[in-house]
Structure 1
Amino acid sequence: MQSSLYGAKVLVRILLAATVVGALFLTLQFSSKLPTGAIEEPAEHSANATYENKLTSSENSYKCINPYAQPGFIWMETRNTVDNTTWVPFYSGLLDEQFAQLWDAKGVPVDKIIDDTRYFPNYFPPNDLLKSAPTQWFQLMRQYKSVADTVSTEKSPDRKEASTKTLQELEQQLYWLQNRSLLVVGDSVDETLVSHLCNSFDATLEYGQTNDTSIVSCNIREWNLTVTHWQFGCVGHHCSNVAGETLESIDQKWNQYFIPTSGSVVGQNGVSPDLIIFQFGLWGEQFFVNQYRQYVHWRRLDYTRTLNYKELVVYTQLLRRTVSILRDLYGHSVPILYRTVALKNTKEQDMPALNLDSAARYACRELDVEIMDFGWLMRGYYSFYSDDVNIDNGPLSALWANMAFWYLFRSQGGVEVRGDLVKMPDTDVTTVDGWNMCHDSFMRDLKIRS
């Protein structure tokens, strides 16, 4: 009897000890997942701010995750739409999905084809994947314009009231776009994407064109949002016959065209554009391909030759020079992205562009410049081009806009984690410190992946 009682007491003590250890373990695990903001004093906000810098309750708060650097796929609702196109990251769950039957024994799709036969059946991704996809800022902006136009013309009081409420809800999501400035430095691919963006909001394109370059800008009046493109490379009808950009020609364009107008693209912070996206891969490629053609006395351009080491050195010097000029103009802390090269729509190989893109990744890693991987994400989508290099208005141009505004949101201090808007920007941002919240983390990831 006594031994049984003793054994029961020992068992109770063991269970009690296990409970204490288990509780301590769970406490430590929970505390490690708390957002850093949870142990800090509440942030003070400007009395002039229309909307507060809202934080949501999320275990992922302040974790720096770039959805466009994650494995995933481009999902588009239809082939021709500019809405409901997004990059869907594979955060989790893909390998856990059950086998989905697409065809029956006769090879007939088991579900009805609802759109283009090339997307049969046009499944929506699971809700948890779509919810964790990055915010479709471009779609929200288009929705805002559509609703605003409806409010201005609606005669029915009830419908106008409902539309006004929707408009106010959208304003609470898009307020941070007010008075911002986006500068895109590149080639005709970038100019075309900027044009698609401006045209989507009926914003007038203003051209300042010369024989050597072009400057295109528009103002999206709903937010006084300025979008500007500075073009490196040839402009005109004889572009295929020119060699491309050199250090001397780039310096000449900066001094003659871009630097004199650099003050016109200063944004909300009063110092610099709120975000700069740049690249000149295709014109760099054109330079080396033309030089080689002249050297071997060929008539045809050869895009199947890999570039040699010295050519890559020249290209990285062009890239370094561009970054240096931008930082001299706007300060070292200006948010800068290198947009990866979009390959040409051609039956031939495009080896020089791949070589330059790889060299650019290395250069950006060393120059502390983040990468916007748009060119990599849409490789192979050549049927969405309007010609051999330019992207048509549609899903890919919408993806570019969503990416650009995701980075612009981040540059204003916004934080999004797996589709969760963890932190919204302040309306009175006067510095570019918001970019640095995740910059070091993303650069570490780039150094691992490069």
Structure 2
Amino acid sequence: MKVLLRNARRLLEDGELESCDVLVDGGKVLKISSSIEEENLDRTIDCKGNLLTPGFIDVHIHLREPGGEHKETIETGTKAAARGGYTTVCSMPNTNPVPDCEETINSLLDKIEQDASIRVLPYASITKGLKGEELTNIDRISKLEIFAFTDDGVGIQTADTMLQAMRKAAENNKAIVAHCEDNSIIYGGVVHDGDVSNRLNLPGIPSLSESVQIARDVLLAESAGCHYHVCHVSTKESVRVIRDAKRAGIKVTAEVTPHHLLLNEESILHDDANYKMNPPLRSKEDQQALMEGLLDGTIDFIATDHAPHSEEEKAQGILKAPFGIVGLETTFPLLYTNLVRTGEVTLKQLVDWLTIKPATIFQLPYGRLAEGEIADLTLVNLEVETTIDKFTFYSKGKNTPFHNWNVTGIPVLTMYEGEIVYEEDAND
């Protein structure tokens, strides 16, 4: 499909915006210029001065399929991602069955090929059945089209299991991606152990349950020579440990979610399970430390941890409802409105955290807007204001604390490998 994108604006390396036309053909960006005249086009799109960026990348989402199709499917989840401007997502393995062997992984890859509207790079589990006991066959699984290894949703409880996994992953040039949580000091918690747990009389999750496992794992990663990536960092102690590990030359990277940047425990005013996620919303001091860590490079990029659940599940209240909120359709406008427009970060920083940063860290050939690169592109209207309405989500999950928030910075078109997979006027 030969498409000419006219009257777009793109970000330069210095953060300035430049007007441009972009010619796309054969799934690649053929030309970027101030003005392009081209014949035999399949389509010309007037971008109306909107921002054109590389397609967003999210290395941490839950598509729920197989086994949890009442929450989300590969089809609905990738349509939601495309609407949010994402062209590459990495799906977590807490499904039924777990992608822990060649058979289940190949079945998942076939389903992705059949139903996904964008690129899905699936994780394989570190341990069989996500039970934290017996390692999967990392040597054999690494030969398949998997992104990395993780037991996301549960922390690996024994140091030896994690060390052996890291050694095997390093041998196969794969990353170990970790949900860090020491089960022995969770104490049945459902919110942060602090003001909110006292105020709502709910069991709290101590910050130490996260940071102590990160501290263990960075030393194991140093010994194994493994790329170790920390999921959804939430505490100031975790930021400190990761910062010290990076200074020591250990190959550790980390992500933070939009909700941990924008909310804290004070945001939970009453028993509303749309504010229940794991790790939980922490203190204001933790929130500030996360922002500082992102700005100084201790935390490398932003990932949504998109975790859809049914309305019935979330209606049970904080004590009984499952952990998790959705994020694919709200991330860019929320962060643009509350971080860029307030002057806390630049537009260039935000776009980089959603594109080139994760691509570079995981050696992905995406996340760039340049001639000769894959035509994964997102067009964003930075001016129009709208209100987040969970009832319009393409995702099956409506579980968000951001319903009715006013935002700007709306993705209006998403192109994956040169094909339009979302267009606001055509879909909404």
Identify whether the pair has TM-score above 0.5, normalized to the shorter chain. Answer: no
Superposition TM-score tier, normalisation by shorter sequence: 0.3 to 0.5
More strand by share: 2
TM-score (norm 2): 0.34
**Greater helix share, 1 or 2?**
1
Higher radius of gyration, 1 or 2: 1
